[in-house]
Chain A
Amino acid sequence: MTIQSTAQEVTVLELDPFSDEFLNDPYEAHEQMREAGPVFWLERYQLYGVARHDEVSQVLADHETYVSSRGVGISDFAKEKPWRPPSLLLEADPPHHTKARHVVSHIMTPKVLRGLKEGFQERADELVARVAAGKDTVDGVADLAEAFPLEVFPDFIGLPKDGRENLLPYGSMVFNTFGPRNSHFERAMERGAKAQAWIMEQCQPGAPAPDGLGAKIHAAAAEAGYDEVDQAKLLRSFLSAGVDTTVHGIGNALQCLAENPEQFGYLREDPSLARAAFEETVRYSSPVQTFFRTTNKDAELAGIRIPEGSKVLMFLAAANRDPRQWEKPASFDIRRKAAGHVGFGFGVHACLGQMLARLEGECFLTALARNVGKLELAGEPVQQLNNTLRGLDSLPLRLTAA
């Protein structure tokens, strides 16, 4: 079935990209969407979709047409009240976005992050060595993928040791709310609501440790003229986006390596492949699967007219396995050049934390290469279903110490 949208007909798809079936295993549907055309119509939600690397890249790059201030979830902020005050970073456009981004970007440059590497590597080696020497069977999620980020990231921000477990349900809630009000949305809101109070407390100026990134964010924001409410919002962005994503990145990496022993072999032989292995994990598993944009004027993409006020759903994960861009896209290959994937987005809204995420991933996988001789699945991985994220609830693993 097609609809008329100027000269070209747009294929209409009935699939629900937020159904349990899709979230459990999206890959066939990704292929269907890529093959449907450069742009397609999702009937169920009455919005446009793009799933090829080319078109997803174009939408990401053209932030003046495909805007973020009307929400990067399914909800159009011009028509509906947002569920929480909009993010100054994620849900804003230039010039406001530019100012907010500048405040934060210069306190988290690659140069700053280089100073963290030694400490992160030490923590990663300690954790992985301990877990590998411990119980016969472990949970790759709770014992490794959650443990490492929950230690190093909140330490970097300057959060207290107690209460960090609140970060996970809060992040899960934020990412679920980019999708429709389905069961995942509602359940995540319930769990997240309990965590919200703790999160908001930590975001208040004066709450984070004086020498941590949180305090630096508040200070830089204050200097730029932001009031305390907005200073808190800026830190909130980090707490929302900075944990679940890296947890899933590391968890997915463990799953990929356990399921592809040859690849783990390459990593063991040459631990300097750790960073590339993490990059390939982001391409292959795309912890952040989707984001929306909204057209703020009549637009044309691949000859297809998209009227003003349309939501466009970008399937980052589908673009990351587009055969037009990647050779053997469904193969997990840590020796390929994965750069150019859109797992961290692209352009003015490209993930602010991506260099930190890469650092965490590199240190963790280096520790894994050094300390683990054999990595095997010890049971069925359990998918965590989230409207936006792809990651695991549990990953039974058997680790043999090196």
Chain B
Amino acid sequence: MPKITFVLPDGLETVLDAEPGTSVMRTAVSHGVPGIVAECGGSAMCATCHVYVETEDAERLPAVSGVEDEMLDCTASERCANSRLSCQLHVSEDITVRLPETQV
């Protein structure tokens, strides 16, 4: 099973197994990883599951959809080139994501 490494703003790392079909957001929330709010429960409507994906990993992910792109403009923390909504990320390979300072 692929592994997701969550890097918190203070540098603390948590590594979790990515269950097939489960989004990065869902993995974080169900394991109590702090820093992912996911207010809308994964419907790409709230922009509170924002993550920064490590560059090499980011290139291997499916492209940002129109809906996700719109939401990424609404994040509370700065949008960067490697910003993604973690509710839209379903991984099949190891990935490292950094959590932003704030989601709200």
Query: Do A and B make up one complex?
Result: yes
| Total interface residues in chain A, CB < 8 Å | 21
A residues near B74, Cβ cutoff 8 Å: 109-111
Q: Which applies to chain B's interface (DSSP): helix, strand, loop or mixed?
A: loop
B residues near A106, Cβ cutoff 8 Å: 70
B residues near A339, Cβ cutoff 8 Å: 29, 37-39, 41
B42:A346 contact, CB within 8 angstroms: yes
B residues near A342, Cβ cutoff 8 Å: 41
B8 within 8 A of A: no
B residues near A383, Cβ cutoff 8 Å: none
B residues near A350, Cβ cutoff 8 Å: 40-41, 43, 45
B71 within 8 A of A: yes
| Total interface residues in chain B, CB < 8 Å | 17
B99 within 8 A of A: no
Query: If A109-B70, A110-B74, A339-B29 touch, does A346 touch B41 (CB 8 Å cutoff)?
Result: yes
Query: If A339-B29, A350-B45 touch, does A111 touch B73 (CB 8 Å cutoff)?
Result: yes
Nearest-CB residue, chain B, relative to A113: B74
Nearest-CB residue, chain A, relative to B43: A350
A212 within 8 A of B: no
Query: If A105-B67, A106-B70, A340-B29 touch, does A355 touch B41 (CB 8 Å cutoff)?
Result: no
B residues near A163, Cβ cutoff 8 Å: none
| Residue among A102, A111, A279, A355 making CB contact with B45, cutoff 8 Å | A355
Mask: chain A, 272-284; 1 = CB below 8 Å from B; 0 = not: 0000000100000
A344:B40 contact, CB within 8 angstroms: yes
Mask: chain B, 33-49; 1 = CB below 8 Å from A; 0 = not: 00001111111011100
Shortest CB-to-CB span from A270 to chain B, Å, is 15
Mask: chain A, 340-357; 1 = CB below 8 Å from B; 0 = not: 111011111010001100
Q: How far is the CA of A339 from the CA of B43 in the complex (A)?
A: 12
Nearest-CB residue, chain B, relative to A106: B70
Nearest-CB residue, chain A, relative to B32: A337
Nearest-CB residue, chain B, relative to A60: B43
A346:B43 contact, CB within 8 angstroms: yes
Nearest-CB residue, chain B, relative to A344: B40
From A339, A344, A358, name the one whose CB has the most chain B CB atoms within 10 angstroms. A339
Q: How far is the CA of A106 from the CA of B68 in the complex (A)?
A: 11
B20 within 8 A of A: no
Nearest-CB residue, chain A, relative to B44: A350
B70:A105 contact, CB within 8 angstroms: yes
Q: How far is the CA of A306 from the CA of B19 in the complex (A)?
A: 27
Shortest CB-to-CB span from B23 to chain A, Å, is 11
A residues near B39, Cβ cutoff 8 Å: 279, 339, 358
Nearest-CB residue, chain A, relative to B39: A339
Shortest CB-to-CB span from B57 to chain A, Å, is 25
Shortest CB-to-CB span from B94 to chain A, Å, is 26
B residues near A344, Cβ cutoff 8 Å: 40-41, 43
Query: If A110-B74, A340-B29, A341-B41 touch, does A355 touch B67 (CB 8 Å cutoff)?
Result: no
Nearest-CB residue, chain A, relative to B38: A339
A residues near B47, Cβ cutoff 8 Å: 110
B11 within 8 A of A: no
Q: How far is the CA of A348 from the CA of B88 in the complex (A)?
A: 12
Q: How far is the CA of A354 from the CA of B70 in the complex (A)?
A: 16
A residues near B62, Cβ cutoff 8 Å: none
Mask: chain A, 87-119; 1 = CB below 8 Å from B; 0 = not: 000000000000000100110011100000000
Mask: chain A, 150-176; 1 = CB below 8 Å from B; 0 = not: 000000000000000000000000000
A354:B73 contact, CB within 8 angstroms: no
Can you give 25 A-B contacts (C-beta < 8 A)?
Answer: A102-B66, A105-B45, A106-B70, A109-B74, A110-B47, A110-B74, A111-B73, A279-B39, A337-B29, A339-B29, A339-B41, A340-B38, A341-B41, A342-B41, A344-B40, A344-B41, A346-B41, A346-B43, A348-B43, A350-B41, A350-B43, A354-B45, A354-B46, A355-B40, A358-B39
Contacts from B to A (Cβ < 8 Å): 29, 37-43, 45-47, 66-67, 70-71, 73-74
A105-B70, A110-B74, A358-B39 known; 11 new pairs, CB 8 Å cut-off, are: A102-B66, A110-B71, A279-B39, A339-B29, A342-B41, A344-B43, A345-B43, A347-B43, A354-B46, A355-B45, A355-B46
Closest 4 CB pairs of A and B: A350-B43, A111-B74, A110-B74, A109-B74
